[in-house]
Structure 1
Amino acid sequence: MAHLAIELRQPHDAVRIAVEGLGQATAAYGTSRLVARLHTMRARGLALIGDRAGCSKALEDAESILDEATAEQPAQWIAAFDEASLASEAALCFLQLAELDEAERRAREVIRLRSGDRVRSRTFAQLTLANVLVHAGRVDEAAAIGHEACSTTVSLSSARVVHQLRALGGVLSLAPRSRQVSSFLAALAGLSATSGEHNGAVSSWPV
């Protein structure tokens, strides 16, 4: 729910729900990776609010707990959360805080760690990196990465990936039309018109 609140741009709810989750998760065995993820969700919410100090502290908490979780056997109901997962969320935090060098470093770290079969995670990291590069004024580099992500998206069938690609395309359509930008926009136009996008909100949260 904390992650969903972030996607819905409800950062105060995201922080509150993550804190509620921490109170529950720390009382159960084998939940260190979940605790680290909840601290990371706190960091994402705090970044959206603009609380740099709070965000950095939450990321430090997540990193410390994740380091200690290496020898722990996770509970079977815990979703995977590893170094690359944390780096991916941290990259989004630093992008939100306009700390572009650190955001780029974290996004490239995810791409390196996800160079194997975790294609969807790697594609999200590429899109984060592309957005970092756009904010840094490196438009052609961003377009080249977006073009590569378009090629991957055909096999992923991911509405979230398509949504983020189209958002990147909207930004790059306003940039000077270089060869890289034109190639990316052409590849984007070739994607399926069905994105599965939804607009919606929750009137209240169950916690």
Structure 2
Amino acid sequence: MARLTGLVTAQRRHTSQLLDAHLTTARSLLYLRLARAQASLGEAVGCRHSLARAEKSLDTVAAAPVPSWCSWMSPAGLLVDSGGCFLDLGEPRSAHRAITDGMRLLPTARAKTRGVFLTYEASSCLRSGQVEQAAAAAREALTIAHRIGAPRCVALVRGLLPGFTPYRDAAGVADLFAPARAGERGSGPHHRG
């Protein structure tokens, strides 16, 4: 916990250094990362404030080109990561709404990102008791992950399996376990997805 608190403090310092910069996308990403850290600490007010600043920064027209290290940042990513914050804060309905809205904005060409976002949606649905919808999102994430070779996405779905265990008899849940575990031995931490 002390390490995480230290990371939040460092993130606040780096974010404040960019406040005067013209790198609005970078600033948005830093506020978003700060919000994720605050959410994991249970700091709901600070998290919401950081999310609002991330959104405002992303909406601001940049005076400088977007740095390559954050060029992927988009309204879709902001919404989905906001959903992750709401999950951490114990607000699955708000999380589901943000994740769903973000998924709608995501270009279809970003299949790997879509697969990861679907695992977030599955987690959100599972936490709010929408087991069948959670299983459908997790199966779709697995389908994408196996099609494009994204082991990280498969690992994220595997991480959800314990939450599905009590619901093995629910529609679609049993069909999730075998594909999620397929190829477990060949997908260690050295693989990237």
1:120 — aligned with what?
Answer: 112
**1:74 is aligned to 2:56:** no
Matches within 5 A, 1:169-184: 169-184=161-176
1:21 to 14, 18, 28: 14
2:88 — aligned with what?
Answer: 96
Q: Percent identity?
A: 25
Q: 1:128 and 1:63, CA in 2 relative to 1: closer, same or farther beyond 3 A?
A: same
Is this contact kept in 2: 1:32–1:74, CA < 8 A? no
TM-score (norm 1): 0.82
The residue identity in structure 1 corresponding to 2:30 is L
Is this contact kept in 1: 2:83–2:96, CA < 8 A? yes
How many residue pairs match? The answer is 189
Distance 2:74 2:154 in 1: 25
Distance 1:36 1:108 in 2: 20
1:26-56 alpha-carbon deviations (Å, 9 max, x no partner) = 4544x11111111111111111111111110
TM-score (norm 2): 0.87
Q: Shift of the alpha carbon at 1:107?
A: 0.6
Q: Shift of the alpha carbon at 1:163?
A: 1.8
Q: 1:195 and 1:24, CA in 2 relative to 1: closer, same or farther beyond 3 A?
A: farther
Q: 1:54 and 1:79, CA in 2 relative to 1: closer, same or farther beyond 3 A?
A: same
Matched residue SS, 2:186: coil
Mean Cα deviation higher: 150-159 or 135-144 = 150-159
Q: Shift of the alpha carbon at 1:169?
A: 1.6
Mean Cα deviation higher: 110-119 or 128-137 = 110-119
1:130 — aligned with what?
Answer: 122
The residue identity in structure 2 corresponding to 1:41 is R
Matched residue SS, 1:180: coil
Distance 2:24 2:56 in 1: 10
1:47 to 30, 39, 52: 39
Question: What are the ranges of 5 or more consecutive residues in structure 2 without an aligned counterpart?
Answer: none
Distance 1:11 1:190 in 2: 34
Q: Shift of the alpha carbon at 1:191?
A: 4.2
Distance 2:95 2:137 in 1: 16
RMSD between superposed Cα atoms in Å: 2.3
1:11 — aligned with what?
Answer: 4
Distance 2:159 2:2 in 1: 16
The residue identity in structure 1 corresponding to 2:136 is A
The residue identity in structure 2 corresponding to 1:22 is T
1:105-148 alpha-carbon deviations (Å, 9 max, x no partner) = 11111211114101121111111111111111111111111111
**1:155 is aligned to 2:153:** no
